[in-house]
Amino acid sequence: MLVYTIKRLLWIPFIILVVTFFTFLIGRLGPGDPVSVAAGQIRNPILLEQVKIEKGLDKPILIQYFKWLSSAAKGDFGESYIYQGYSISELIFPKMWISAQLGMLALLVVFGLGIPLGLMAASLHNTWIDPFIVSLLLFFRAIPVIVIIPPLLWLFAVHWSLLPVGGWEGGIFDIYWLYEVIAIPILNPHVYLPVFALSIGGFGGVARLVRITALEIKNEAYITTAKSKGLSDTKVMLGHILPNSLLPLVTVIGFALVGILEGAFFVEVLLGIPGIGRFTFEAVKSRDYDVILAMTAILSTVFIIINLIVELLYTKIDPRIQLDEGIDG
Amino acid sequence: MTFLDDSKNNKHVDTLEENYKISTGGNWNVFFKRLIKKKLGMISLIIIIVMYSAGIFAPIIAPYSYTEQNLERSLEGPSQDHWLGTDRLGRDMYSRVLYSIRTTLIVTFAVIVSGSLILGTALGLIAGYRGGTTDTIIMRIGDVFASLPGLPLLILVNAALSPKIDQISIWIDSNTFINDFQASGAASYITIFFALSLFSWVSSARLIRSQILSLREKDFIMAARSIGMKQKRIIFRHLLPNISNLLILLISSSLGAIAGSEIVLTWFGVGVQPPAASFGQMLYAGSGTRTFQTYPHLLLVPAFFVTLLMFAFNILGDALNDVLRRD
């Protein structure tokens, strides 16, 4: 276990190196070089040359890369071209915090709603409620976020004027941490739509998984035993079926996070939330290479670490899985 | 947004592997009989076939060209001349929907053939059959791709790549006998196709590798080897036919994911570039709140078709899953 963990930890920097190097290569090599982007409207060859030297783009690619890497390791990703005068890390980290707040809330909703709904469907398996929930889940799973937000936004913000048209005011976690955790998400109307939009996909998936697992467990011998001892259905549900159907959910945490992060790219653009999703959108539109590069590095790092944690967590919970064999087959 | 989930879902695949162990090499007749019994699955299949054929025959069916503008009749609602209305530039929405299906179809087909089928199957086969160092190298590369966030990285890679491809296509226009390469928008298809293939091979390679690992030890492969059969023949005659069910499942499960990725990437502005028609573009054009309030058809038309397609893919995927794993 320890050896495995260390192996995986050593694996992380390697992946990050490979990924950032290739992104760097794509950005720097070939036509459409960053010099012309950096220079903006300047088309004077002497000035172009000057910009090139100023940004260190005249040096060999490997030297450029290691220069970038060493400053990136210190949290310095260079300057943004769109927001002149700001450093990228100055811009990215506050935006990441906004996205992270929404993401955490969405994750809470995904599991907080998904698990009860899945259990409900499983326990009412032979009634009309189960197929109803299943089709509802299918709907949530299949409908793309970019399709559902505009109508919802129109309905809630314009037609009924219940929610703000978008944008972002104040955080979820600000000063009175605990108070804000409980009160502000409920009070802050800016949160509802994005959190809903971020969680629908994952929430359908979680509920579906819980339902399937719970239905399988229902047929196990120990459930029959519990029932024959005279335990009530609720007790069997909460005491035996629920804990056991949570196990496969650990693997889903990673995917739920991926889903939420992917969703953030679209939800933030549509609802005007100044998080990393929207920042990336702007950077992509204006071909801001350094931002793209920084985003690639940060996102890959975050993901690899999440993946590792989920994997380790899974082995911890389910001892049947042995990692050392699992990886090499 | 869980479009890429199916293709990137390695844990999911791992658990699936168990279920398919027996099902491969199953009887095709049995398989089809079971599938026909799944009513919803069949309806989905029909929807997909109808939509795809509409996409294939778009140039024949479409009443207008997808680039034909008529600014005097822009932003009109449905009428007899324009069944689904017109967009901001007065282009016929119905024609654009048909061409969008065509775009999705082209991208999906190209990515599945190159990424999932050729690259994924070949690498999975080699890794599983050869084993040893080859296996380790291939699967490690796969690990790298699998541990990366798919869609965000696709966006970023596409954003970094597309100006290069643009420049290359301008070069092709001016230096080779091919003209109008830049204007045709083919370059953006190539970018998106390249980026999606890069990420889609991993899950199929993993699934196929695990299948080959268990098949390799079966008696008939041993027998084939013991009579001195060539490796090529063993792979093409004995191993490939035995994983054909698995390939169907792989294709059906990645159809929706790839179509979704194309739409979403285009929506983000890094996919298929204008003037080519794509659902992503249509959805983006119609998604402003004010726009939606005044001209709801701009969003509702593409939204209807995209949702229908996604539903069909999901239900068909579930049905095939049931059919193939029931052994």
* Ordered DSSP codes for B72-110: GGTT--S-SSSTT-B-TT--BHHHHHHHHHHHHHHHHHH
The answer to whether A143 contacts B135, with C-beta atoms less than 8 Å apart, is no
Q: What DSSP letter does each residue of A44-104 carry, written as one string? A: -HHHHHHHHHHTTTTS-HHHHHHHHHHHHHTT---B-SSSTT-BHHHHHHHHHHHHHHHHH
* Chain A residues close to B149, C-beta within 8 Å: 258, 261-262, 299-300, 303
The answer to whether B311 contacts A149, with C-beta atoms less than 8 Å apart, is no
Q: Is residue A105 part of a domain?
A: yes
C-alpha–C-alpha distance, residues A253 and A54, integer Å: 45
- CB B289 within 8 Å of CB A157: yes
Evaluate the CA torsion angle A143, A149, A151, A155 in order and state its sign. positive
CB proximity under 8 Å: A 139-198 to B: 139, 141-147, 149-151, 153-154, 157-158, 165-166
C-alpha dihedral (A317, A321, A322, A328), degrees to nearest 10 = -130
Q: How far apart are the first and last CA of chain A?
A: 16
B144: nearest CB among A18, A143, A263: A18
Mean pLDDT score across all residues of chain A = 78
Count the residues in chain B. Answer: 327
φ and ψ at residue A79, rounded to 5 degrees: -105, 150
Same domain, A50 and A190: no
| Secondary structure class of A29 (helix, strand, coil) | coil
* Chain B residues close to A248, C-beta within 8 Å: 15
Which of A277, A255, A259, A260 shows the shortest CA–CA distance to A268? A277
Place of tokens 């929930």: A133
| Confidence label for A186 from pLDDT (cuts 50, 70 and 90) | low
pLDDT of residue A273: 86
Same domain, A61 and A74: yes
Contacts 24+ apart (CB under 8 A), B181-189: B185/B272, B185/B273, B185/B274, B185/B275, B185/B276, B187/B162, B187/B273, B188/B162, B188/B271, B188/B272, B188/B273, B188/B276, B189/B103, B189/B106, B189/B107, B189/B110, B189/B272, B189/B276
Same domain, A162 and A271: yes
What residues does A79 pair with on adjacent strands?
A87
Q: Is residue A167 part of a domain?
A: yes
* Chain B residues close to A268, C-beta within 8 Å: none
Which of B68, B138, B132 shows the shortest CA–CA distance to B99? B68
- CB A221 within 8 Å of CB A274: no
pLDDT of residue A178: 52
* Chain A residues close to B284, C-beta within 8 Å: 146
Q: Is residue A318 part of a domain?
A: yes
Give helix then strand counts, H and E, for chain B.
Answer: 17, 0
Same domain, A316 and A175: no
Share of chain A above pLDDT 90, in %: 0
C-alpha B158: how far from its chain's center? 16
Same domain, A42 and A117: no
Read off the pLDDT of residues A133-150 as tens digits, 9 standing for 90 and up: 888 888 888 888 888 888
Q: Which two tokens stand for residue A120?
A: 């409900």
pLDDT (average), residues A268-292: 85
Which of B126, B289, B300 to mutate to probe the A interface, most A CBs <10 Å? B289
The answer to whether A143 contacts B307, with C-beta atoms less than 8 Å apart, is yes
Is residue A37 pLDDT above 70, yes or no? no
Count the residues in chain A. Answer: 329
Of all residues in chain B, the one with the smallest CA distance to A17 is B144
CB proximity under 8 Å: A 40-99 to B: none
* Chain B residues close to A15, C-beta within 8 Å: 144, 147-148
C-alpha–C-alpha distance, residues A8 and A307, integer Å: 10
Same domain, A112 and A40: no
| Secondary structure class of A41 (helix, strand, coil) | coil
* Chain A residues close to B12, C-beta within 8 Å: 251, 255
C-alpha dihedral (A282, A288, A291, A293), degrees to nearest 10 = 130
CB proximity under 8 Å: A 272-301 to B: 280-281, 283-285, 287, 289, 292-293, 295-296, 299-300
pLDDT of residue B304: 93
Q: Is residue A140 part of a domain?
A: yes
Q: Is residue A324 part of a domain?
A: yes
Which of B246, B212, B21 shows the shortest CA–CA distance to B127? B212
* Chain B residues close to A270, C-beta within 8 Å: 287
Which of A242, A245, A247 shows the shortest CA–CA distance to A310? A247
Read off the pLDDT of residues A57-87 as tens digits, 9 standing for 90 and up: 777 778 888 888 888 888 778 777 777 778 8
| Confidence label for A184 from pLDDT (cuts 50, 70 and 90) | low
Q: Which two tokens stand for residue A201?
A: 């996909």
A150: nearest CB among B135, B144, B287: B287
B268: nearest CB among A157, A265, A303: A265
pLDDT of residue B8: 39
Same domain, A59 and A124: no
Same domain, A281 and A291: no
Same domain, A115 and A50: no
- CB A74 within 8 Å of CB A297: no
Which of B157, B174, B250, B264 shows the shortest CA–CA distance to B205? B250
* Chain A residues close to B9, C-beta within 8 Å: 255
| Amino acid at the residue B2 | T
Question: What is the 8-class DSSP label of residue B180?
Answer: S
Domain of residue A260: give its range. Answer: 92-285
Place of tokens 């994952």: A202
C-alpha–C-alpha distance, residues A251 and A222, integer Å: 24
The answer to whether B314 contacts A258, with C-beta atoms less than 8 Å apart, is no
Q: Note whether A32 contacts B: Cβ–Cβ < 8 A.
A: yes
C-alpha B133: how far from its chain's center? 31
Same domain, A278 and A192: yes
| Confidence label for A169 from pLDDT (cuts 50, 70 and 90) | low
The answer to whether A26 contacts B164, with C-beta atoms less than 8 Å apart, is yes
Is residue A183 pLDDT above 70, yes or no? no
pLDDT of residue B206: 86
Q: Is residue A113 part of a domain?
A: yes
Which of A265, A236, A221, A250 shows the shortest CA–CA distance to A312? A250
The Cβ of residue A97 has, within 10 Å, a number of other Cβ atoms equal to 15
CATH number (domain holding residue A164): 1.10.3720.10
Spans of chain B, pLDDT less than 70: 1-28, 179-185, 325-327
Same domain, A153 and A98: yes
pTM for this prediction: 0.82
pLDDT (average), residues A37-66: 71
C-alpha–C-alpha distance, residues B92 and A193, integer Å: 32
pLDDT of residue A172: 52
CA-atom Rg of chain B in angstroms: 22
Which of A72, A90, A36 shows the shortest CA–CA distance to A297? A72
- CB A118 within 8 Å of CB A206: yes
Same domain, A183 and A120: yes
* Chain B residues close to A23, C-beta within 8 Å: 156-157, 160
A284: nearest CB among B4, B151, B159: B159
Is A29 exposed, middle or buried, given 0-12, 13-18 or 19+ CB atoms closer than 10 A? exposed
Q: Which two tokens stand for residue A285?
A: 């539109």
| Amino acid at the residue B238 | H
The answer to whether B310 contacts A144, with C-beta atoms less than 8 Å apart, is yes
Q: Say how many domains are in chain A.
A: 2
Q: Which two tokens stand for residue A272?
A: 């005007």
Q: Is residue A87 part of a domain?
A: no
Q: Is residue A159 part of a domain?
A: yes
